[in-house]
Chain A
Amino acid sequence: MKQQITGSEALLKSLIAEGVDTIFGYPGGAVIPVYDQLYDYKEQLKHVLVRHEQCATHAAQGYARVSGKVGVALVTSGPGATNTLTGIADAMIDSTPLVVITGQVASPLLGTDAFQEIDVIGITLPITKWAYQVRKPEDIAWAVSRAFYIASTGRPGPVVLDIAKDAQVGMVDFEYQKADYIRSYQPEPEIRMEGIQEAAKLINEAKKPFCLVGQGVILAGAEEELTEFLSKNDIPAGCTTLGLSALPTDFPLNKGMLGMHGNVGPNRKTNECDVLIAVGMRFDDRVTGDLSTYAKQAKVVHLDIDDSEIGKNVPVDVRVLGNAKKTLPLITALLETRKRAEWNEAFESDAQEEYEKVIEKELFPTDGCLKMGEVIRKISEATNNEAVLVTDVGQNQMMGVRYFKYKQTRSVVTSGGLGTMGFGLPAAIGAKMGAPERTVCLFTGDGGLQMTIQELGTIMQEQLNVKIILLNNNFLGMVRQWQELFFQDRYSATVMKNPNFVMIAKAYGIASREVQKREELDEAIHEMLEHDGPYLLMANVEEKGLVYPMIPAGATITNILMGD
């Protein structure tokens, strides 16, 4: 006879069966039975106690993004659940696989406005791939198996399981079966060979093909397939912010980043190429700017696993629906081996112009305050360009992704679609847990850091070796930049009076120092990286630094600002 166990134990056994070893969470009334059971499973399930539920989801995101595994967050009902919403929404728009488990009041109390009761399913439906309420212990194993299957397959995304307290304490015969089929859900669409052939024909006939690389390549694990595809036909490529590190920075066909603060070459060539091949990206407005002038001259080939993305923003000539790991090699097989020396060299003059007008000043200033870019590049190089880059949102983020360099995939953790300030610190915690062998460097600003600064407590408790680089300019820098460029220097609510961050770090037992002189920078970076444990390096950078190039929102490449 099978032994009956509680729903809570069934939940933990189900998580273990799905290969979970780390949970980010915060206990509370409606989830105490699960936490009680967790006490007996400490060896198998490492629980990281965050300091705010929002950070449980962001940490789970960081974990998922670097490891490729499903991130798991565990919180209580009511405010515990509502606090997770920002992280869930962030994971939805950035296609990050998460399973968020929320406790819920006992099922007889549902709908009665009970203490800490909230309609979790109702409020998470628009921001989840699937949301389900479990009211019976018998449904727990089934719901967990579906949750992991849905979160991790197809285009990944967040799933919410709302588990009523009576389902946590009720007894159940436990048997676990992993889900691999749901009648109404087809994670990998069938590949149409006509699309493959049309795509290959267009590319073979193209004189100036250009490839846009999105996070879909990383999610599909198709980095090698992409490299072969580009190399065979000598196709230059640009990466979206989330697509960065799908190709190493120094891969010759990688021409840099796309979009508002991207590199000049990839943005200009988007409007000069004759065939535009988009792989696993969604033509976000921060990439395209004004759609009416975007790549109008080009035939567009779009490879994506999500049918609703193809043709959503940009009209598409050839649709290639499917998993890029399978579709890319099918196209590559039909491609001619080509050399496109002249077309590839055409990116050089743009790169040279950007170097002279922007990069050189940012990376190699000779006087004045520290520049954000120089701090970032120096740290990247000090890690041999092998670290994981985590950023917050704003100037620190755009400078971070522009000037950090990447050697291996899954090296960028940043809030792309939602642009969540406060994401950085908790995401760095998750990233370090997900890739403990790698150096994790967080670049954050004085604004974003203070949105989730309480997570220094989590870092202290876990003694997590996270390197926190605070690019402190005493401003909400990106908004200030817009105010300077588009709102006549009217700095409305962007000036920040800040605490002594070094002392705050010390209060948490985290090694810390301040640096503002260029001569001290190398030594300070060395000290930070050599330190065995968490470290906060506060770099006092110039107050009114600007991220260039910039294509203003809704504008086109010809409106590019270079600060000259």
Chain B
Amino acid sequence: MLEKKLYTVIIFSENTVGLLNQITIIFTRRQLNIETLSVSPSAISGIHKFTITTYADENMIEKVVKQIDKRVDILKAYYNTDEDLVFQEIALYKLSTERFLKMGTVEELIRKYNVRVLEMNETCVVLEKSGHYDETQNLFKELSETIGVLQFIRSGRIAITKSPVERLSDMLANMERVLLEKKTDDGKK
């Protein structure tokens, strides 16, 4: 049995209703848990980008990605390991203002964790930290153990490949060429 590790699946799709469902059922059927999920419009208008992380072995993730890629509305699906990617998550922490101020180490905390203060009012403070899972988790741990965290939320991973190949634009260029060839062929007929 191959070793399980964390894979990041990056999917480009048309922006149609029900796409998330089409993708998640492929994970469900193989009993794979989705660890994180992030969906947003991509750089190209009308195309959405999904970033999904999941623990799997390479054999499994390869099959899952092929099944996703096969769906009609999916432009392209890929998988990567952490080494191939620059990735980030963002976390928000809601704290009690009173306890936050009493802590007396606000400057130290902000410098150590590179934290931003998004909001501060009489009752609460909202901090923002971006980073890898371990980094946002460490801050959560420290705050929980010291002054307590009222609310905590972490986003799904977003990621960009380090490789020089721009997969989406190459793929779109290729599809444009196919269309052009088709039109030329039709013209000849």
Contacts and interface: CB of A to CB of B under 8 A. Distances in A.
Contacts of A180: 182
7 contacts: A122-B21, A126-B25, A131-B18, A181-B178, A184-B72, A308-B66, A308-B69
B92 interface: no
Given A125-B18, A125-B22, A183-B75, A308 B179 contact: no
Interface in A93-139: 121-122, 125-126, 129-131, 133
A184 B73 contact: yes
Interface residues of A, number: 21
Interface residues of B, number: 23
A307 B14 contact: no
Given A125-B21, A311-B62, 8 more contacts: A121-B18, A184-B13, A184-B72, A184-B73, A186-B178, A307-B69, A308-B66, A312-B63
Interface string A77-103: 000000000000000000000000000
B73 A307 contact: no
A150 B72 contact: yes
Contacts of A122: 18, 21
B29 interface: yes
Of B14, B18, B25, chain A has the most CB atoms within 10 Å of the CB of B18
A150 B71 CA distance: 11
A185 interface: yes
A306 B71 CA distance: 11
Contacts of B17: 133
A341 interface: no
A307 B70 contact: yes
Contact of A183 (B14, B66, B67, B69): B14
Interface in B51-80: 62-63, 66-67, 69-70, 72-75
A150 B72 CA distance: 8
A181 B179 contact: yes
A126 B72 contact: no
Contacts of B66: 307-308
A379 B74 CA distance: 48
Contacts of B73: 130, 184-185
A158 to B, nearest CB: 12
Contacts of B25: 125-126
B10 to A, nearest CB: 15
Interface string A231-245: 000000000000000
A478 to B, nearest CB: 27
Contacts of A306: 70
Interface in A180-221: 180-186
B44 to A, nearest CB: 11
Contact of A181 (B70, B75, B182): B182
Which among A183, A185, A311 has the greatest number of chain B C-beta atoms within 10 A? A183
